[in-house]
Amino acid sequence: MEHEWFESPRREEKPTSSAMKHILVALMLIFTVAVLLLPLWQRGVNRSLEVEYRSLVNNRILLEEQGQLLRASISTKAIPEAVSVYSWQEEIYFTPITAIVARGDL
């Protein structure tokens, strides 16, 4: 009886508390790995988006250049001098069209 004052009462651990500890440790490890891998995953996604964006910008620039070339070609072929030169090369002769306009009030 003389040693009763320093002995604390012992609580018995429930059998589920040890299993709960293991589950919590596993969840903490999974969370830690996820936190460490998240920035790497984000960096990979950002890199792929940057590469796709650059390719889209390059394609847009190429399409604009092609459009300018097509407009230049159309405008070059639309001038009368070019039409007469191309017609001479292709042996096309222009003849005037005489139009007869019929009036409906005869």
Q: pLDDT tens, 35-89?
A: 999 999 999 999 999 999 999 999 999 999 999 999 888 877 766 666 666 666 7
Name the DSSP class of 96.
Answer: P
Per-residue pLDDT, 104 = 64
Tokens encoding 56: 């889209």
Q: pLDDT tens, 6-45?
A: 666 666 655 578 888 999 999 999 999 999 999 999 999 9
pLDDT at residue 2 above 60?
no
Q: Which residues contact 86 (CB under 8 A, 6 or more apart)?
A: 77, 92
User: Is the pTM of the predicted complex or chain greater than 0.75?
Assistant: no
Per-residue pLDDT, 45 = 95
Per-residue pLDDT, 11 = 65
Q: Which residues contact 31 (CB under 8 A, 6 or more apart)?
A: none
10: amino acid identity, one letter: R
Per-residue pLDDT, 72 = 84
Question: Rounded to a whole number, what is the distance in angstroms from the first to the last CA of the chain?
Answer: 141
Q: Which residues contact 92 (CB under 8 A, 6 or more apart)?
A: 86
Q: At what angle do helices 15-78 and 80-89 cross, to 10 degrees?
A: 80
